[in-house]
Amino acid sequence: MSFSYANPYTSTRLPVFARNVVATSHPLAAQAGLRMLQQGGNAVDAAVATAAAMTIVEPVSNGLGSDAFCILWDGQQLHGLNASGRAPRAWTLDYLRGKFGADAVHFAKRGFDTVTVPGAVAGWAAMSRRFGKLPFADLMQPAIEIAERGYLVPVVVQQKWAAATPELQGLPGFADNFLPWGRAPKVGELFQFKAAARGLRAIADSGGEAFYRGEIAAALCAMSQAHGGAHQLADFADYQPEWVTPIGQDYRGHMLHEIPPNGQGIAALIALGILEHFDVAGLPVDGVDSQHLQIEAMKLAFADVYRYVAEPSSMAVTPAQMLDGAYLKRRARLIDMQRAQDFGAGNPAKGGTIYLTTADEDGMMVSFIQSNYMGFGSGCVEPTYGISLQNRGYGFSLDTASPNVVAPGKRPFHTIIPAFLTKGGQPQMSYGVMGANMQPQGHMQTLVRMLDYHQNPQTACDAPRWRYNQGLSINVEASLDPATVQGLVARGHQIDVINDSYQDFGAGQFIWRAGDPKTEGYIAASDARRDGLVAGF
């Protein structure tokens, strides 16, 4: 029987209630995390096992050569982890201009010249060492089994796989690993990734050391140099993820926490700080006034983020200055409720991604995100160990006036951002919304629905979204009320109505703490825009 996977009917998901929960965008990965919880592990063990499995079952969006970020509540306090990669030491401005031209602003989009040292594996190991209960090697086992035995390719993953193939099929290692029949797999075909199983075993046996100071590092550097890259063993050996203090913004009696720069999470905080000066709840939830106001707040946030955010040592202003209450109040006054605007940056100095979240009955909650950036990242795949490498170096600039100008050992601007909500210093929700610059927009839109309009996490996740691009350009989902779309057009927004929700509007996973985790547990949601699942018990 050959099925059609086009579904003309609306599919409704309901929130899941459980004391131990894993939510992510592939069912097998969610079950990998749940398996760790059932074996006596905690939410960190579940998160690491889920993240490892996700590199196999959603390779379009992430791989063993990804970067990652995490915010976690350990039962007592909040911790942040920045496991994003740094530029190889050979990446000087002169070196890259010599390769790509003196007038180049960005260098390559794909290939080894876009690969910073991948941080995800180091992030897994750091989380496990500090907070995990189970042996690290045990956390890799579900992913190893999936890679060895294979899995049937699901609908959304297959669509993105096929779309990426024409651009990437000629890059080193891509066809051998991801085009097993000389093409992308079809929906429901069995895909096995035995090379990645070998890589995962080496990672498991060494606690991640093989990736940075062992056989995997050697293989990656040899392949890079064979294809014109500049990676050296010392670049990998020197890498360490960084534990950081999350930054936060009050909103409606709660505080939203994000990882500080070099990421864009501060955009969601700025937008919410602006919305604090408006009675959002007094406007109809899906009406033009509410949507216009949120769009304009998000534009103001991005204007500052794109001007200032970079590696902290390269920023002209601090995150605290960007989130200053008086400054955000001044920015809020710029919004005209009857007219869309193209805002410039203010002056605060004067004032392919996968996401997963886990929670356990002891109160530990994890918000975790990892990504290869664009679909399949650099397109380069090391064949012996199945390491699919990100292309985060594309976030650097060759413009010396940019805060993101490339330099050896520097981290580029990052789009991937986990989020965490607290109330009165206690955990409330672990969540994230994937999709490049959609991420802070999704953080803001879904949180407004929950806190201003009291929509449950699944409803807030399912609701139609918009996405700000640049200038006056906005994409909106086809499910948004046509009257609201026309109202936005009348105010000057340039609207494109999009039917492909995966492409433009990201996908979220949510775990809301309902009360005492041992008795009341959590309310969890998974976005229907991907092949996801909430698994719990």
Enumerate the active-site residues.
353
Euclidean distance between CA atoms 421 and 323, whole angstroms: 17
Specify the residue for token string 């740094």: 86
Both structure tokens of 169: 């099929």
C-beta separation of 251 from 142 below 8 A? no
CA 364 and chain centroid, separation: 21
Distance CA 212, CA 15 (A): 40
Q: Retrieve residue 500's tokens.
A: 């492909």
* Strand boundaries in 116-201, DSSP class E: 151-152, 190-191
Backbone angles phi, psi at 487, to 5 degrees: -65, -40
**Helical axes 136-149 vs 194-206, angle rounded to 10°:** 170
Distance separating alpha carbons of residues 417 and 89, to the nearest angstrom = 26
> H or E element: which one contains 468?
strand 466-468
- Residue with the two structure tokens 């097998």: 28
| Spatial distance between the Cα atoms of 521 and 160, rounded to a whole number of angstroms | 35
| Among 204, 207, 179, 206, CA closest to 193 | 179
Cβ atoms within 10 Å of 167's Cβ, excluding its own = 15
Q: For 30-174, where are the E strands, in sequence order?
A: 67-73, 78-83, 151-152
Residue closest to 387 by CA, chosen among 188, 185, 231, 153:
231
User: What is the chain's Cα-based Rg?
Assistant: 22
Q: How far apart are CA 46 and CA 22, in angstroms?
A: 7
